[in-house]
């Protein structure tokens, strides 16, 4: 016994997606009173799903595959072509093991040391500047961290350009027009840069430090015993560098949260209970970053009475699930304490995807993200002082990815010793 999937109106809703952005799926699940509906995007049918049960079925690999799910325009900018995000089954698990092997406690400890060191020297630099464009500076800071951690050499005079390129890759994912083309140029430049470095490692002209992503990716052997092409290795190294730079967005949103909810500053500085964990989790839940993720139906199946047909594109609503009224009390309030007695679930809180790390496509860098955010935001409240001039820190829900309009400007930065 099956029932028809509720339909969105209109012949194609790509334009609505571009104007409603993060709210495109939530607006419709609320209006249609359903966690499943069907729409048309970029000339094809897409079934949008939201909520905990939706995430659970989405991460059931017997039901979904990634092949053919990521649009080419996103592969040519954000991710790189044919990278881990688009793989399935045994070859995906093997490649995922490569990423997960970099996430040991020892490597995370090292990451935190680099983050702290880079904040210290950044604050020295900023204290000589009249005004600091926080978002841009933090992206550069995270680029320095990313390259040190990944073993990728980065000259001082390249920092600005290379981090601008990483930023452009991230900034392009929901874009059409100039922002998309910037992303393409940035991808070409970044891949050329890292591929040269991978080649130098393979030729023995450059020693990649032990345990780093550069070393692991340069020498990794695929299930067929062959190394990746130097180009593919470069793409996967960038799949480490770029998302570490992306943490700069969450740190910027975290700084805005501290500004807009001043009572959280002292709580974070004191860190009673596990406040810094709650705070970071709430930043990742509350602020919009990844809007949704996609996969294709592997074989026909029925779920909650709805028929899912082989090959159909299915989009799991990330933003809407993190704000789902059945999962979160007053989801539109910023309230870190909600995480005090949060019943941990791999499917209700999915800012970086859901399910399992090793088996599925859940983000390999979730611990890196949490650690880098904690260390950074604790530094911000404990080790520096600054003024916040009047500015517009609101952000558009239509722009994907979005950012505070002012990019967060701070002044009169002083280190606290």
Name the residues that contact ligand HEM, by CB under 6 A.
Answer: 84-85, 96, 99, 239-240, 243-244, 246-247, 250, 289-290, 293, 351-353, 361-365, 368-369
The Cα 291–Cα 48 span in angstroms is 12
Shortest distance, CB of residue 387 to ligand HEM, whole angstroms?
27
| Nearest to ligand HEM of 115, 393 (CB atom) | 115
For residue 183, which phi and psi values (nearest 5 degrees)?
A: -60, -40
Shortest distance, CB of residue 179 to ligand HEM, whole angstroms?
18
| Nearest to ligand HEM of 143, 388 (CB atom) | 143
Question: How many Cα atoms are found within 13 Å in the side-chain-facing hemisphere of 140?
Answer: 18
Shortest distance, CB of residue 180 to ligand HEM, whole angstroms?
19
For residue 357, which phi and psi values (nearest 5 degrees)?
A: -70, -50
- DSSP letters along 78-94, please? II-TT-GGG--HHHHHH
| Nearest to ligand HEM of 65, 96 (CB atom) | 96
| Nearest to ligand HEM of 251, 388 (CB atom) | 251
DSSP state of 401: S
| Six token digits for residue 383 | 């080790």
Q: In the chain, count of helices (H) and strands (E)?
A: 15, 10
Shortest distance, CB of residue 373 to ligand HEM, whole angstroms?
9
Shortest distance, CB of residue 3 to ligand HEM, whole angstroms?
27
* Closest of 57, 49, 74 to residue 298, by C-alpha: 57
DSSP state of 76: I
| Nearest to ligand HEM of 350, 388 (CB atom) | 350
Instruction: Specify whether the CB–CB gap between 244 and 368 falls below 8 A.
Output: yes
CA distances from 114 to 148, 371, 386, 412 (A): 8, 11, 22, 25
| Nearest to ligand HEM of 48, 388 (CB atom) | 48
The Cα 404–Cα 393 span in angstroms is 5
| Nearest to ligand HEM of 264, 352 (CB atom) | 352
Minimal CB distance residue for ligand HEM: 365
Shortest distance, CB of residue 262 to ligand HEM, whole angstroms?
25
Shortest distance, CB of residue 212 to ligand HEM, whole angstroms?
12
The Cα 95–Cα 395 span in angstroms is 36
């Amino acid at each position: 016994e099956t029932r028809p999937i509720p339909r969105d109106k209109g012949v194609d809703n790509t334009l609505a997606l571009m104007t409603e952005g993060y709210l495109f799926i939530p607006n419709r699940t609320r209006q249609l009173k359903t966690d499943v509906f069907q729409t048309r995007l970029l000339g094809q049918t897409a079934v949008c799903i939201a909520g905990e049960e939706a995430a659970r079925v989405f991460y059931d690999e017997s039901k979904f595959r990634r092949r053919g799910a990521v649009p080419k325009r996103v592969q040519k900018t954000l991710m790189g072509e044919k990278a881990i995000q688009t793989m399935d089954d045994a070859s995906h698990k093997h490649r995922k093991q490569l990423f997960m092997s970099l996430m040991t406690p020892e490597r995370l400890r090292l990451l935190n040391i680099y983050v702290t060191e880079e904040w210290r020297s950044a604050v020295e630099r900023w204290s000589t500047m009249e005004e600091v464009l926080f978002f841009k500076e933090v992206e550069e800071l995270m680029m320095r961290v990313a390259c040190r951690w990944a073993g990728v050499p980065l000259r001082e005079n390249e920092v600005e350009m290379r981090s601008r390129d990483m930023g452009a890759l991230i900034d392009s994912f929901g874009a059409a027009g100039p922002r998309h083309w910037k992303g393409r140029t940035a991808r070409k430049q970044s891949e050329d840069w890292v591929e040269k470095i991978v080649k130098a490692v393979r030729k023995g002209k450059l020693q990649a430090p032990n345990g780093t992503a550069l070393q692991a990716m340069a020498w990794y052997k695929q299930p067929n015993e062959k190394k990746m092409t130097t180009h593919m290795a470069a793409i996967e190294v960038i799949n480490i560098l770029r998302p570490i730079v992306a943490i700069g967005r969450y740190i910027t949103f975290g700084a805005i949260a501290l500004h807009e909810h001043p009572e959280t500053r002292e709580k974070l500085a004191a860190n009673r209970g596990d406040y810094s964990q709650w705070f970071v989790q709430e930043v990742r839940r509350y602020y919009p970053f990844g809007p949704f993720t996609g996969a294709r139906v592997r074989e026909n199946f029925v779920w909650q009475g709805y028929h899912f047909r082989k090959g159909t594109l299915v989009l799991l609503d990330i933003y809407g699930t993190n704000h789902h009224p059945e999962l979160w009390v007053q989801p539109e309030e910023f309230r870190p304490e909600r995480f005090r007695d949060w019943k941990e679930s791999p499917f209700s809180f999915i800012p970086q995807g859901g399910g399992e790390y090793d088996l599925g496509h859940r983000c390999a860098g979730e611990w890196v993200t949490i650690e880098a955010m904690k260390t950074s935001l604790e530094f911000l409240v404990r080790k520096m002082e600054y003024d916040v001039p009047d500015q517009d820190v609101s952000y558009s829900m239509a722009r994907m990815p979005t950012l505070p309009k002012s990019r967060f400007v701070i002044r009169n930065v002083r280190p606290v010793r």
